[in-house]
Structure 1
Amino acid sequence: MHLESLNLINFKNYTEGNLAFSSDINVFVGDNGAGKTNLLDAIYYLSFCRSFLNPIDKQSIRLNEKFFILNGTFVKLDKKINISCSVQEGQKKKVKRNKKEYDKISDHIGSFPSVVISPYDTNLIIEGSETRRKFIDSIIAQVDRVYLETLMRYNKVLQQRNALLKQFQEMRIFEQESIEVWDLQLAELGKIVYKKRQDFLVGFIPLFQKFFNFIAADKEVINIAYKSQLNEQDYEAGLKATSRKDSILGYTNFGIHKDDLEFLIHNQPIKKFGSQGQQKSFLIGLKLAQFEMVSELLDTKPMLLLDDIFDKLDIGRVKRLMELVAEHRFGQVFISDTDVDRIDKVFEGIDLEVNIFHVKEGKVENA
């Protein structure tokens, strides 16, 4: 599978653009702020129907415009498939496959997978639990349609239960029977999500450890701990035990929406006890494990998007990452960088086609 071409209109800082890609390596070179990362984000949009930078779709519309359109032509199993994604102010987002609109956008997820490695990945370490839940959810959702649908249903039930709790709080009442209707659904769906997250991590953690040790060229004791209230308490019992707290605060305090991943080095949080280099290796290890697992489960290599990472990594980590590229471990690769000479050195001796684009002030030209 690879992306053959991309057309974009009114996307972020681009009025329009038409790009034809190599099935191997494609590099966007330009100054900071020129729009390189926006091109990677457009490709990511075609995979996930959302940005990896901003969850609000309308904020990806070019300033002073009312809409954006992305069109991509993929080649998969020797067939060309057109995917279009359009967002217009005041209207529902539309995603089409060969001009036919999806009934549910979730049906598209996993069809054209991608993995992005970006400076923004540091948020996985420094930000709150929601960021880490989204990370694991985005991986499982690409390979497990039941998981995605169950999680979406869970979030809707949670939203409705919270709305009822808020209403009770404002009215200074609490009706246990009304809440229990939502509790039954929340517990049923939450148990499925919890089990699938557990099962996923059993396979994911060894892959992550393998890639960390390769990138870091070291044998650190690293691990990921799945932190969940369900590790200690049954779902129904947990909801019952926190019902008074729920009524006071006006939202649900027990469930898989509180889950977290704890990133550990020598059994200590890497956020506090890991060096900058160890944290970088940890993040790359996470993303390469994501790539490997998605590739195995979908039997297709995702697109690999590398956003400005050569400027952030030391030469040793860059070299080991490029060893994996040279071994054809990845499929199609997209890279953004500020230095064309550095790109020439990075890919020197690698027997792959490298297609370079120069990006300047929202315009793209093939080198």
Structure 2
Amino acid sequence: MHLNHLNLLNFKNIRQAELSFIEGINCFVGDNGAGKTNLLDAIYYLSFCKSYFNSIDSQLICHEEEFFVVQGRYERDSQPEDIYAGLKRSQKKQFKRNKKEYPRLSEHIGLLPLVMISPGDERLIVDGSDQRRKFVDGVISQIDKNYLEQLLRYNRILNQRNTLLKSARGKSGVIESQIDIWNSQLALTGQAIFDRRRMFVEQLEPVFQKYHNYISGGNEVVKINYHSHHQKGDIELMLQHNLAKDIVLGYTTRGVHRDDLELLLNSYAVKKDGSQGQKKTFFIALKLAQFEFLNSHFGYPPVLLLDDLFDKLDENRGNRLVELVGSDLFRQIFITDTQKQRLLDIVKHTGKNYAFFDVKEGEVVKDAQNVMND
């Protein structure tokens, strides 16, 4: 699977662009703020129906404009796939596959597998547990529609229970007749989510360790520990036991919505003890493991987006990352960088075909001199 063409109108700072891409490495070069990362975000949007960076779709519309459009033509299983995404201010966004609108956006997830690796992924390590749950859920949801449905159902049940807790006004007797129903449903749905997450982490960890070992040169030991309330006993009994506390707080304190991954480097939390380069190596290895996991499931490689990754990696780690990217596992890659010569030296070493695009103040122009396409 690969992206052949991308058309943009009023997406962030890119007012208009029509671009054709190659299988191999497509490079966006320009100063910070020029719009390189916005191009990656547009490609990400076509896979996930949302931005990688902005949770509010209206913020993606170019200043003073009334709409944005992102269109992509892919080749998937030797068949063309035309994907359309559009949004007008104060209206619901449209998402179409081959001119047919999706009744639910969740039906699109998994059609165009993609992995994005960005400096912002350090949030996986340094931020709260919600970032790590989003990572796990995002990977599983691409390959397991039932999991995505269970996750959406769980969140609806959780919202209902939290609303009920707030309505109790400090008195459990007010909601006793209703709370047991929500406790039972939350426990049942949560168990299915927990079982799938546990299986995923067990499958992901050795692959992650393999990539981390390669990039780091084998000098560091890494581990992932999955923590969940479901490991500590009957979750329904926990919900009953913590009811008084939950009423006071106004939200549910037990369940899979509190799950977390403990990320260890040489037996210590990488969040606290890891250097900037070690943290970067950690999340790159996590994302490459995600890539291999999706590739194994779909039988073809996802599109890979690499946003400004070669800063803050020492030369040895950077070289090993280049060697990985040059392997046959990766087919279509999009890379951004501020330094053209550095990126040109990097992509030449991969042995893959490559094409360069110059990005300046939202304008994108193909660099005809820096293309290798056999």
Q: What are the Cα deviations for residues 19-66 of structure 1, in whole angstroms up to 9, with x where unaligned?
A: 100111100000000000000000000111111111111111111222
Contact 1:73 1:82 survives alignment (8 Å): yes
In structure 2, the CA distance between the partners of 1:65 and 1:344, relative to structure 1 (3 Å rule), is same
Amino acid at match of 1:261: L
Question: Residue 275 of structure 2 corresponds to which residue in structure 1?
Answer: 275
Q: What are the Cα deviations for residues 273-311 of structure 1, in whole angstroms up to 9, with x where unaligned?
A: 223222221111101000000110121200110001122
Amino acid at match of 1:52: Y
Question: Residue 215 of structure 1 corresponds to which residue in structure 2?
Answer: 215
1:236-315 alignment to 2 at 5 Å? 236-315=236-315
Alignment partners' CA distance in 2, 1:312 and 1:87: 37
Q: Secondary structure at the match of 2:50?
A: coil
1:73-84 alignment to 2 at 5 Å? 73-84=73-84
Q: CA deviation at 1:312?
A: 3.1
The answer to whether residue 179 in structure 2 is matched with residue 179 in structure 1 is yes
Question: What RMSD, in angstroms, separates the aligned Cα atoms of the two structures?
Answer: 1.4
Q: What are the Cα deviations for residues 240-259 of structure 1, in whole angstroms up to 9, with x where unaligned?
A: 11111111111111100001
Question: Residue 189 of structure 2 corresponds to which residue in structure 1?
Answer: 189
For normalisation by structure 1, the TM-score amounts to: 0.97
Alignment partners' CA distance in 2, 1:301 and 1:359: 27
Alignment partners' CA distance in 2, 1:310 and 1:267: 27
Deviates more, 1:295-304 or 1:83-92: 83-92
Alignment partners' CA distance in 2, 1:238 and 1:89: 45
Q: What are the Cα deviations for residues 319-357 of structure 1, in whole angstroms up to 9, with x where unaligned?
A: 111111222221200000111111121122432211100
Alignment partners' CA distance in 2, 1:364 and 1:40: 13
Amino acid at match of 1:208: F
Contact 1:161 1:179 survives alignment (8 Å): yes
Question: Residue 140 of structure 1 corresponds to which residue in structure 2?
Answer: 140
Question: Residue 127 of structure 2 corresponds to which residue in structure 1?
Answer: 127
1:227-242 alignment to 2 at 5 Å? 227-242=227-242
Q: What are the Cα deviations for residues 142-179 of structure 1, in whole angstroms up to 9, with x where unaligned?
A: 11111111001111111111112112228896311211
Q: CA deviation at 1:90?
A: 2.0
1:1-367 alignment to 2 at 5 Å? 1-169=1-169, 174-367=174-367
Give ranges in structure 1 of 5+ residues lacking alignment: none
Number of aligned residues: 367
Alignment partners' CA distance in 2, 1:273 and 1:246: 34
For normalisation by structure 2, the TM-score amounts to: 0.95
Contact 2:85 2:94 survives alignment (8 Å): yes
Deviates more, 1:295-304 or 1:264-273: 264-273
Amino acid at match of 2:224: I
Amino acid at match of 2:282: F
Alignment partners' CA distance in 1, 2:166 and 2:151: 22
Alignment partners' CA distance in 1, 2:316 and 2:100: 47
Q: Secondary structure at the match of 2:348?
A: coil
Q: Secondary structure at the match of 1:184?
A: helix
Q: Secondary structure at the match of 2:351?
A: coil
Contact 1:117 1:306 survives alignment (8 Å): yes
Alignment partners' CA distance in 2, 1:67 and 1:19: 20
Instruction: State the identity %.
Output: 48
Contact 1:311 1:337 survives alignment (8 Å): no
Question: Residue 370 of structure 2 corresponds to which residue in structure 1?
Answer: none
Alignment partners' CA distance in 2, 1:228 and 1:19: 45
Contact 1:227 1:261 survives alignment (8 Å): yes
